[in-house]
Amino acid sequence: MPELAYVNGLVTPVDEARVSIEDRGFQFSDGIYEVVRTHNGGFIDLERHLARLERSATMLDLALPMPLPELERVSREFYAQSALPEAIFYLQVTRGAAPRRHTAPPGLTPTLVMTVRAITQPPPERYTAITVPNNRWKLCACKSIGLLPAVLAKHAALRAGADEAVFVEDGLVLEGASDNFFAVKDGVVYTPDTDGRILAGVTRERVLEQLAERGARVEVGPLPLELARSADEAFITSSVLTVVPIVALDGRPVGDGRPGPVTGRAREDYWDFIRRTTA
């Protein structure tokens, strides 16, 4: 089966899918999205992703195209058509298409786009990262499709020969351009709080639950850059990457420059969870 796209009910191969140039997603980044990993033909945490989609929609006063249970059913039916057991499922909702004016006309039909694309590589064994100033807007809890700061940060990382960029503000580490950030020091796991300056990652939440189950010492709160620089271990989490060690930050090794044991266990626990819930 090819990689498939869905646009307001029409399923086609990805390269045949079309939306209007008047779509407000194209014109204004007026939309929201979710990225969900699948394994063994099953979604990983689809319900949590859709619940976050609804929260993002509320933050932007954006109508979802259908009630959440129906959206879940449509997502599952569409994914089943692809028959790709290891995939990245992408779902985007925009406010719809209309002649370009900042204010949207009332009663616009939202545009629902979904794609399923095959995963061809296992998650990376290790990443390096640079830090960049946080130049994003104040609604980072909303999974908006307005991702230009993330794109520019990733370009900066690429230019620096690193894999990821991590946003820093007021001396605090916030999150990666497309993932959440954790540091481990003296046996304590640190990660920033969901205070609006970061996205409440679904993977982050799962990893925190697993750390709690293991009785790990966890501090959710401000994460000083100095702490990250002097950490024994660091790692990032996302639906696409799962759990990936950060072995260097701004060109300096994190700890001994190798993936550490706390990170390794978090990654194993997360993959155990994936296998359990998608079996």
Binding mask 160-179 for ligand PDD (x = CB under 6 A): ---------------x--xx
Q: How far is the CB of 46 from ligand PDD (least distance, A)?
A: 11
Closer Cβ to ligand PDD, 160 or 240, answer by number: 240
Pick between residue 27 and residue 239 the one whose CB is nearest to ligand PDD: 239
Whichever of 52 and 97 has its CB closer to ligand PDD, that residue is 52
Which string of DSSP letters, residue by residue, matches 155-181? HHHHHTT-SEEEEEETTEEEEETTEEE
93, 172, 202, 266: residue in contact with ligand PDD (rule CB under 6 A) = 202
Tell me the C-alpha distance between 93 and 82, whole Å: 20
Our answer to whether residue 143 is catalytic in this structure is yes
The Cα 171–Cα 194 span in angstroms is: 17
Q: Which value, to the nearest 10 degrees, does the dihedral of the CA atoms of residues 146, 88, 7, 23 take?
A: 10
- Angle between helix axes 261-278 and 202-213 (nearest 10 degrees) is 110
Which is the catalytic residue, given 138, 143, 154, 185?
143
Nearest distance, CB of residue 242 and ligand PDD, angstroms = 9
239 interacts with ligand PDD by CB under 6 A: yes
Nearest to 89 by CA among 53, 57, 126: 53
Site for ligand PDD in 9-38 (CB under 6 A): 35
Q: The tokens of 266 are what?
A: 């978090």
Separation between Cα atoms, residue 85 and residue 118, nearest integer Å: 8
# residues contacting ligand PDD (CB under 6 A): 14
Please say whether the beta carbons of 274 and 210 come within 8 A: no
Asked whether position 238 contacts ligand PDD by CB under 6 A, the answer is yes
Q: Which of 69, 62, 5, 4 is nearest to 30 (CA)?
A: 62
Q: Does 128 bind ligand PDD (CB under 6 A)?
A: no
Q: Which stretch binds ligand PDD (CB under 6 A): 55-63, 157-165, 232-240, 256-264?
A: 232-240
Give the tokens for residue 160: 């620096």
Contact positions vs ligand PDD (CB under 6 A): 35, 175, 178-180, 199, 201-204, 237-240
